[in-house]
Each structure stands twice: as structure tokens, then as C-alpha cells.
Structure 1
Amino acid sequence: MNKTDTFRALHHGRMPGDPLILPGPWDAAAARVCADAGFSALATPSAGIAAALGYEDGATPADEMFAAIARIARAVDVPVSADVEDGYRLAPKELVERLLETGAVGCNLEDSHGGVLKDPRKHADWLAEVRATAGDRLFVNARVDTFLHGDGNPEGAIERAGLYVAAGSDCVYPIVAPAKVLPLLRAGIQGPLNAVARLDGVGPSPTELGGLGATRITFGPGLQRRATAALAEIAAQLRRG
């Protein structure tokens, strides 16, 4: 079984309350720490990588993002999925080729640009092209931004998700969906469901999110921000002597 098949298999047959936990390393060193801790797969955060490279979230040049993903994938033996935002306006063929060149086995693709939701049917058509080009070589996680940039209507999120699943997406990610609507989303969406968890103790734990219907849990840039906060404390202590 290759890494992509292994990664895909990790999303299926999971029991409620036992979601797939995917830490988000922002560089090769962080990836090694996560892999050495025993995690079976990793998922890079675009915002975390942007911060590590000195960019605002959403402003990382595509070449630098793909290079960072490649360094992370090279550093570990476990499967790595990559957040590539909305695909950097690349044609599906080029996007797939560049992702595969990094060694990534999957990708997040969001349905908004510049804080504005895309037309869901046009986006579904684009996702279908990505799937047709990639075949089974990539696990596609379709991010649904209804709760981030839309009106937060769960029915609208379910409608978008249905289009993306029909287009061949392997998983759906209604980012920042309130925990209370996860059961409704779970009932209305086919296949694996991604939820985001916080690392500051606010909101449900990964296990609790799994119990509400999430198949897998990611953390966005949470790990990178927590590590940066820890470094800030160390730096302050050094400054004080």
C-alpha cells in the first residue's frame, strides 16, 4: 500500500469519538517532532507556514509554499497532506503536478478567495478537474467556507459539500463550523468530515468533536502559534537575565 492509500484508509472505519488526529507542522523540524511522537499522518497549515516564512496568511507565493511543503514531506516517513489555500489560481493539471512533486499525498482546497465565497458549482467543476487529473494519487479535502466567510447557514454548507463530494472530493471541511451544528452536518454530508480544534482549552476536545461527527481533526496554525508563544516567553526570560 502506498502512502496515499494509507492516508485514505486512515479516514475510514473510525468509531465515534476516535477521529484521525492530524497535527500541523510548519517546517521540517516540527514535522519530525510530530512524527516521532507517533502520529500516523500530518497536515500542513498554510497560515502556519506563512508565519514561518514571514508572510501574512494568504500572501505566501506559490513557489515558496510548495518548497516548504516539500521540505516537510521529505523530513518524515508518514503521509503528509498540504493546505494549498484555493490553489493559487493554477490550472488543475499544474496544481496536481506541483503537489505530487512535493511528496504530499493530499491537499486542502478552499472555496473562497480574498474572503469571498466562490460560486459553488463552478468550484465543484474545478474540483472535478483536479480529481480527474490526480486520479487516486491525491486525497482531496474540500474546505467549505460558509461559516468563515458566508452566512453560517448549515443547509448552505451541506449543499456546497454535496456538490464537492459529487465532484470527487474525499473529505469535506466546514471550517470553524460551531460544534453544535456538527451532528447536522454529519447527517447531511457523505464521507469523511474534517473539524478544527483549538489548543487553548476553548471549545470541544478532539475526542468530543469526534463524538459529534468529525472523522478527522486538524488545528490550523494552532501548533505554530503555541510554539511561537512559548518562544516569546523564553526570549523574555533571557532578556530579563
Structure 2
Amino acid sequence: MDVTTFRALHHDRAPDDPLILPGPWDAASARAFAAAGFPALATPSAGIAESLGHEDGATPADEMFAAVTRITRAVAEFGIPVSADLESGYGLPARELVERALEAGAVGVNLEDSDPSGALNDPERQADWLAAVRSAAGDALFVNARVDTYVQGVPDIEETARRGRLYVEAGADSIYPILCPPDHLPDLRTAIPAPLNAFALLDDGPSPRELGQLGASRVTFGPGLLRRVMGAAGEIAREVQEW
């Protein structure tokens, strides 16, 4: 499946049927999600970091691209597209970032507007950088632009919407107001002329269907699926100890 099909998956969705993108952290999890029938996958940088023994945000670029390559290779036989969370771009020039994402087999990228220190980037400069990414990629990559206002303590709908509109004008295909309260989604959906990515928790908060009804076109889980698996691994470890 190519980027054109992946892009189309985000549009014309029924309110109760958002695109659900599980987040594989390695080749084995990617194959499990592919075998379950999901139409596409989206890697979580935090999940990959944990699987490689790094803190979130501390994965070296080479290791992240290598992990994405293993994941795309693992699901190639299923014809399933993979979007890669590349954090804030690792300081790479836009063209190099695009080239490495494509070489890793990704059809999409998730790019956040916080710098590595955790501060929000200037939105105009971020928009310029996203425009450079779009120029380098042409139509070859789906760009999911993450807005970190809620993560960084700026829970303001107007500022989030302003950033989202700037990023869409710069060429972003969708906007991800990560950790946005669910009741903000309807206003953001009205204010931002692009599909919205919402974050779902497995054990708390609205379901993907409910997030879709609130305005999300796409739902991801961050490292939540990995952490559920690790919880199960802990239970298995206890069973083995008690055997």
C-alpha cells in the first residue's frame, strides 16, 4: 500500500469509524498488529525508546531509523503502510530527514513542535520547517504535525488551533494535538482544516469510536500498547516464579 492509499484512509470517515493505528515497537509487534487486520500502523517514539532501553526522547537517530526499517520490513508481505514517529527531527535538515524516512520504508512521519529540551518551538519557524519537509517530500510522505501545547502546559484551544492552521498551510496532512482533552476536540475539528489525530488510553477515557464522534479522524496510542504487553509479561514472570 502506498502513501496515496494511506492518505486516503484519513478522509471521508464516518464519525464513529476513525482510522485506528496501533503503535508497534519492534518487528514482532508489527507482525502481530498486521496479522490482526489493521490497515496501517504508526510507530510510537516512546515505545521504541523503551524497547531499546532509552528514555523517551533519547533514542539516537540511527537507532530510530533502524527500528523503523525493521518494522516496515516485517510487514512488507502484508502490504501495510507504516508511519514513523521521528520526534522533532533529530536536528536533521529537512531533505535528509525525508530521505532517511523513505529509505526506512515509511510512508508517513509524525513531527512534534517541541524542541529536545521540552520547550515549544516558535510556530512560524516550525511552519517554515514543515514547509521544507513538504517541499523535500513532495507527495511521497504523509505529514502528521504534532502540536505540543497541552504537553507543555499551554492548554489553550485558540493557540492550538493557530498552530494547527499554520502547519496545515505549510503542508501538513493532519494535526495531532497530543493530550488534548476530549471535550476540546469538537472546537479544534471546526477550527483546523485537516484530519485530527487523537490519543487514546486503553484503560481510561473515551474509546476510539467516541473520539471519532468528537472529531478525531485518526487514533493512536503512544507507548500504551507496549506497556500493556509489558504488564502481561510481568504476570507471566510471576507465574514462572511460582511454578
The normalised TM-score by structure 2 is 0.97
**For 2:15, what is the secondary structure of its paired residue?**
coil
Does the CA contact (< 8 Å) of 1:175 and 1:196 recur in 2? Answer: yes
2:112 alignment partner in structure 1 = 110
**For 2:187, what is the secondary structure of its paired residue?**
helix
Q: CA shift at 1:115, angstroms?
A: 1.5
Does the CA contact (< 8 Å) of 1:117 and 1:150 recur in 2? Answer: no
Give the Cα separation in 2 of the matches to 1:226 and 1:104: 25
Q: How far does the alpha carbon of each residue in 1:38-57 deviate from its partner, in whole angstroms, 9 at most, with x for none? A: 00000000000000000010
How big is the alpha-carbon RMSD for the aligned residues of Structure 1 and Structure 2? 0.7
Give the Cα separation in 1 of the matches to 2:103 and 2:73: 11
1:162 alignment partner in structure 2 = 165
- 2:148 aligned residue (142, 145, 148): 145
Give the Cα separation in 1 of the matches to 2:57 and 2:209: 30
User: Does 2:199 match 1:196?
Assistant: yes
Q: CA shift at 1:151, angstroms?
A: 1.5
User: Does 2:182 match 1:179?
Assistant: yes
1:68 alignment partner in structure 2 = 67
State the AA in 1 paired with 2:214.
L
Q: How far does the alpha carbon of each residue in 1:139-169 deviate from its partner, in whole angstroms, 9 at most, with x for none? A: 0000000111131001000000010000000
Give the Cα separation in 1 of the matches to 2:54 and 2:42: 19
1:129 alignment partner in structure 2 = 132
- 1:213 aligned residue (212, 215, 234): 215
State the AA in 2 paired with 1:4.
V
Identity of aligned residues (%): 64
Q: How far does the alpha carbon of each residue in 1:104-135 deviate from its partner, in whole angstroms, 9 at most, with x for none? A: 00000000022110000000000000000000
Give the Cα separation in 1 of the matches to 2:4 and 2:165: 23
Aligned length: 239
Q: CA shift at 1:17, angstroms?
A: 1.2
2:2 alignment partner in structure 1 = 3
Give the Cα separation in 2 of the matches to 1:190 and 1:236: 49
State the AA in 1 paired with 2:68.
I
State the AA in 2 paired with 1:7.
F
- 2:83 aligned residue (81, 84, 102): 81
Give the Cα separation in 1 of the matches to 2:208 and 2:104: 29
Structure 2 gaps, min length 5: none
2:239 alignment partner in structure 1 = 237
The normalised TM-score by structure 1 is 0.98
State the AA in 1 paired with 2:137.
A
Give the Cα separation in 1 of the matches to 2:113 and 2:95: 18
**For 1:159, what is the secondary structure of its paired residue?**
helix
**For 1:149, what is the secondary structure of its paired residue?**
coil
Give the Cα separation in 2 of the matches to 1:196 and 1:71: 24
**For 1:35, what is the secondary structure of its paired residue?**
helix
Give the Cα separation in 2 of the matches to 1:91 and 1:239: 50
Q: CA shift at 1:65, angstroms?
A: 0.3
